[in-house]
Structure 1
Amino acid sequence: MGERMRIVIVGSGGVGKSALTIRFLQNKFIQEYDPTIEDTYRKTMTIDKKSVFLDILDTAGQEEYTSMENTYFRLGDGFVCVYSITSADSYKKMKDCMENVLMHKDQQYFPIIIVGNKCDLKTKREVTPSQVAKDFKKTKYQYIETSALEGINVNKIFIDLVRTCRKHSLFLKEQEKKQKNKKKKKNCIIM
């Protein structure tokens, strides 16, 4: 059995979180849209010759369900923060979502991939890649534009996030090791 990761997909309603998830899991596009309250999916895959079992939580984007967010934020190992390139408002809400994730994780950095969905609708674009690059210039977050409709970069989101989670986990283990070594040195009394 391989490692297990909890991936949480967040963003406002109607940006295509469920469409991205279904495209990833079943390689099909869902036409009809029912607002998601919460759906959990599972998929096992091999990335870099290591097996990984993904628990994917597709969260609600509707305001009335935001009370569930605290649980999502605490449990997630990595986050897919989605907005629609055709909606500046969804971009603002996605940035607010990211802030909530970081606040709940009590860290300045956490495995997050920023996803601009609906790149097939370039003529209706309200958010440019240069705007995203400017807003996140000082961070390590990866930015990907996707299309659930056309299947563009959908698998890349999850593969790259797994790799980022693995690196972050190694980093945290190294930090923990350094802390233990510091404590040991403090506890040693030289006579």
Structure 2
Amino acid sequence: MPSQASAAANGQPPVPISITICGDGGCGKSSITLRLVRSQWTSEYDPTIEDSYSITRRIDGTTYHLGLTDTAGQEEYRGMWASSNLGADAFLLVYDITSVDSLDALGYFTELIDMEAETRLDNAARARRAGLGVSSGVHDRGGGRMVPPIKIVAGNKCDLQESRQVSAALGLEWARRRGCGFMETSARLEVNIEETFALIVRRVVESRRLAEMGVTETPEMDRRGVTKPLTPLGHDRDDGPDEKRGVGVRGPRFDGSFGRRGGDFWKSLRCW
């Protein structure tokens, strides 16, 4: 994996993308983050107030610098949500498939994000009226962001099938009604972790491209410019020897001995 310094030395500095990870307490936000950043997982639950991480990933031939903010999920800490959290390029909304309440809790965050999206569209409209383009520099002259954020919903702990309360169909429908992409993940077994963040990066890049063209609504986006559910991904994607394994490839590879579902179960855990 090329470092930020080596990428810059090659004349191609990493493209910055900020991602805020939100959701109810105990749904696995920190586990997903640490699995991505450190390839670690722990069964111990330690409530997070707010942690920040930086990593680089090379996706589709481009190196990206990802700034991750792992936010508090407990209701008593939500008032501490800083405005900077809402300034992210993308939001990963995490719920626990063994808890219906954790899915319901995402409504609080989507309302805040949707208000932020409306503000950004207003900023972009003012910039266009002033004869200014919406550049991938992201901000207008007043410092306001102009590209609507991306939203991806992740149903975490998909390895706990015997305790499932939220079906994949229900999670997908919840995401579809709110214009979000949808994945099911397992931080413990490293299912769809790299894939989820690769999807976020691709959607942010596309959103920026469309914003530069003055497009705020397409068949792939809702009126706020956020993504609608994603189509299933192909297999065996790889961007070079220095890449993480491609989308649809990374994750556990079972020989059929895992529970009653066997290896075929994991083949169904793709994105929508």
Q: TM-score, with normalisation over the residues of structure 1? A: 0.85
Q: What 5-or-longer segments of structure 2 have no aligned partner?
A: 1-12, 122-147, 216-272
1:15 equivalenced with 2:56 (yes/no): no
Aligned to 2:16: 4
Q: Does 1:56 align with 2:68?
A: yes
Using CA pairs below 8 Å that are at least 6 residues apart, which structure has the higher relative contact order? 1
Amino acid at match of 2:185: T
CA contact (8 A) 1:8 1:72 kept: no
**2-structure distance, mates of 1:20, 1:172:** 30
Which structure: greater strand fraction?
Answer: 1
Look up the SS of the partner of 1:120 in the other structure: coil
Give, in whole Å, the separation in 2 of the partners of 1:10 and 1:103.
Answer: 16
Counterpart CA distance in 2 for 1:72 and 1:11 is 17
Which residue of 2 is the match for residue 180 of structure 1? Answer: none
| Number of corresponding residues | 176
Equivalent in the alignment of 1:130: 169
Amino acid at match of 1:102: D
1:75 aligns with 2:87: yes
Superposed CA deviations along residues 65-111 of structure 1, whole A, max 9, x for unmatched, are 21232514432100100000000000001133122211123269631
C-alpha separation in 2, matches of 1:136 and 1:4: 26
Match of 1:166 in 2: 205
1:26 matches 2:38: yes
Structure 1 runs not aligned, ≥5 long: 177-191
1: distance between equivalents of 2:156 and 2:94? 7
1:87 match:
99
Following superposition, the deviation at residue 140 of structure 1 comes to 4.4
Q: Following the alignment from structure 2 to structure 1, what is the Cα–Cα distance between the partners of residues 46 and 172?
A: 32
TM-score computed with the length of structure 2 as normaliser: 0.61
For 1:154-186, what per-residue CA distance to the aligned partner results, in whole angstroms no more than 9, with x for missing partners? 11111110001111111111118xxxxxxxxxx
The reply to whether residue 42 of structure 1 matches residue 22 of structure 2 is: no
